[in-house]
Structure 1
Amino acid sequence: MCSPLAEQTSSARALQATRIVRRMQPSCESDPDPDAKRAVARRAQSAPTAVCTFAASLTLSIMIAASYMRAAEECTRGSKRRPVKPRSRRVSGSLPRDPRHEQCERVFTLAEAPFFTGGLMLRAAIFDVDGTLVDSVDLHALAWCEAFAHFGHDVSFEEVRSQIGKGGDKLLPVFLSEAELREQGEQLETWRSQHFKANYLTMVRPFSAVPDVLRKLRDQGTRIAVGSSAKKDELKMYLDIAGIADLLDVTVSSEDVDRSKPDPDVFETALHKLCVEPLEAIVVGDSPYDAQAAKGAGLQTIGLLSGGFSEESLRNAGCIAVYPGPAALLAKFDPSLFGG
């Protein structure tokens, strides 16, 4: 059925055709050929039908085009509702751009291809060092205790040991007032560092199975970093002692960040250097300060008891699993945590 517009148009065309026929009638009447008169009549009768058919075809074409346009619009609106990055806030696992690491490129070889763990894509593991890879916590506590005594402060071994895992910028304010920090803080930390290197560094020993754990992770395509509150020169010596320097992709010391653990700076810097997001990595550490720093960076933590902290303190700090040490981590290698 034609639309009202088409009907009006066809009526107008029919009227015009009738006028043409009337103008042609004198010549037709004078023409004795009756076929000419019939041809004119047929053209006049077919004009309204042709106009109506054309209008209907045009209307159908417009309707089809409008349908396609609506479908395209719906598709476009639907694509706009899906954000490019689902994690737009740090709390859900994304990191702000860091101008220090603009050269970082997310390029992985076949050996570094990601694997999936517990439904999440895991690309990297970040290890603490003291108490996690090397047995040094008690030695650090002794050096700190003797440094405090050297500068006239009475601090027990147990008090100091409970703070090992923090950097000096976080440990010193626990025992010194602001005035004492201004007067003695830098000197005390320098004395402690030299005292530790001269008297205790040679006593540091690696935990068993550490290289095996790292090799197992590398064989699975996991990139490996260490993030420590130690000074850069101390960290290098620890890695040599543990025999793992050639197994690491990234190292981060307290000198690479503004704030040490339990602030998240160490792990955030490691993530940027690794070119991964927090949900693509996991931390392995021995202290509650590791877990707190990891949580601040949006990371989960596996805790080790090798640093002397209790399982309860590690779990309370946020560790999702706790093992006695690196050897147990290797023996009980959990596919749900590391994607075996």
Structure 2
Amino acid sequence: MKNFIFDIDGTLLDTEAMYIKALQEVLHERGMNRPYAELAKTFGIPSRDALIRLGIKDIDGVLAEWTPKTEEQPYQDTVAVYAGVKDALGKLRDAGANLAVMTSKRQFEFDRDVVGHGLAPYFSQAIVAEDIAHGKPAPDGILLAMKRLRATPATTVYVGDTVYDADASKAAHVTFGFAGWNGKRPTDFTADVSFMTPQAMLNLLKA
């Protein structure tokens, strides 16, 4: 496998608490008390799509409050790069792999989280929400990343952590690699390959 395309949230960066706790507080302030586990089921897709799936009526109003809430320090303090990720990305790059990211994040979120945590230099291409018409589980983002990498489906793996990532990979006809280092164990999808540590990705590169 030569081309590695990565999801960001829940894959390279632990950002779930930042997004979900901020949303939970916004909804609570509006009189809607939703369990964390219910909200977390939408983690990994664009914010607007998440609110639609949750049946939120005032989507624009909630979005206007949710985004600024994630900027507050208590939520920002929960964000971290998963252990071993930077080392693995560096080794993949140095071994000749082509690396890209394809994320549901908007450009300002990419700059805040990916650039801000020192991940951007590892990637030659970055696809964000503004670059595509349809987010995951549609394959648009993966297909655009492959086009920019000049990659073929047979030589490409998309590394992610949710059913939306798995479905997007299937639609794009690429291998789906599960980022098992995040401590989660999926029950709603089956990965083509699971990586229990970031370094395990090097074995796929050599395969």
Is TM-score (shorter-chain normalized) higher than 0.5? yes
Counterpart pick for 2:32 among 153, 157, 163? 153
User: What amino acid does structure 2 have at the position aligned with 1:339?
Assistant: K
Kept in 2, the 8 Å contact 1:294–1:300? The answer is yes
Superposed counterparts of 1:1-340, under 5 Å: 122-176=1-55, 180=57, 184-199=58-73, 200-307=75-182, 309-315=184-190, 319-324=191-196, 328-330=197-199, 332-333=200-201, 335=203, 337-339=204-206
Structure 2, unpaired ranges of 5+: none
Secondary structure (helix, strand or coil) at the match of 2:18 reads: helix
Distance 1:235 1:140 in 2: 14
Kept in 1, the 8 Å contact 2:82–2:182? The answer is no
Distance 1:310 1:282 in 2: 19
How far 1:196 sits from its partner (Å)? 0.3
Kept in 2, the 8 Å contact 1:169–1:259? The answer is no
User: What amino acid does structure 1 have at the position aligned with 2:158?
Assistant: V
Match of 1:14 in 2: none
User: What amino acid does structure 2 have at the position aligned with 1:338?
Assistant: L
Residues 302 and 157 from structure 1, CA distance in 2 versus in 1: closer, same or farther, beyond 3 angstroms?
same
Distance 2:186 2:62 in 1: 32
Kept in 2, the 8 Å contact 1:262–1:293? The answer is yes
Higher-RCO chain (CA-CA 8 Å, sequence separation at least 6): 2
How far 1:187 sits from its partner (Å)? 2.2
User: What amino acid does structure 2 have at the position aligned with 1:155?
Assistant: R
- Listed one character per residue, the Cα deviations across residues 190-244 of structure 1 (whole Å, up to 9, x for unaligned) are 2111100124124311111111111111122111111111121111222234322
Kept in 2, the 8 Å contact 1:167–1:229? The answer is yes
Structure 1, unpaired ranges of 5+: 1-121
Total equivalences in the alignment: 206
Distance 1:242 1:157 in 2: 25
User: What amino acid does structure 2 have at the position aligned with 1:260?
Assistant: G
Task: Output the aligned Cα RMSD.
Answer: 2.0
Of Structure 1 and Structure 2, the greater helix share is in: 1
- What is the TM-score of this pair, normalised by structure 1? 0.56
Distance 1:185 1:281 in 2: 36
Match of 1:89 in 2: none
Distance 1:202 1:271 in 2: 33
Kept in 2, the 8 Å contact 1:206–1:241? The answer is no
Distance 1:190 1:278 in 2: 38
How far 1:307 sits from its partner (Å)? 4.4
Residues 308 and 261 from structure 1, CA distance in 2 versus in 1: closer, same or farther, beyond 3 angstroms?
farther
Whichever of the two has the greater Rg, that structure is 1
